[in-house]
Amino acid sequence: MSSPVLTICLFVVALTVVSAVPPGVTPEVCQSKDNEVYYKCDLEACFKTCQHLKTPPPCPSIAAGCFSPACICKGGYLRNAEGKCVPENQCGNFCLKFEEYTSCELEHCYKTCEHLKTPPACPSISSYCYKPACICKEGTLRNSGGLCVPPEEC
């Protein structure tokens, strides 16, 4: 007697799971797009667009039951304003005056005007780094307002 009830319950659960996945987003669809990969959950990746390089979003915590598949740009690529995945360095000029783009902020010492008197301790760089940023160009320092300026303007 419990067998038909169990079968019906399993059918309802399976139907719920299948209907929660949007149609059309499959690994094959993502593979057919340039520089995109399939993720079973669209919340699995941070820094998805070129704009996120300038204003990074907080990385989401992923729920165990996340059923929102998506095509996301593969590592080293970001979605531009036209919706295409492009290499990070082709995102356009979003850095401010005296700044330059780097794909790994930790590869450089972060120097501020306060460091004119006391040089900073440079960070150790891990073999895996994915924190793109705009850093001050060589010969400039970041002031208390967050802008890169020549040392004489500190």
Domains and CATH numbers, the chain: 1-94 (2.10.25.10), 95-154 (2.10.25.10)
Round the CA-based radius of gyration of the chain to a whole number and report it.
23
Token digits of residue 37: 């990969």
Mind listing the pLDDT tens digit of every residue in the chain (154 residues)? 445 443 443 333 333 333 333 456 788 888 888 998 887 776 665 657 777 766 666 665 655 666 678 888 888 888 887 788 998 878 876 778 888 877 776 656 667 888 787 776 666 655 555 566 778 898 998 888 888 999 999 9
Give the CA distances from residue 62 to residues 12, 13, 19, 43, in Å, rounded to whole numbers and listed in that order.
24, 21, 20, 6
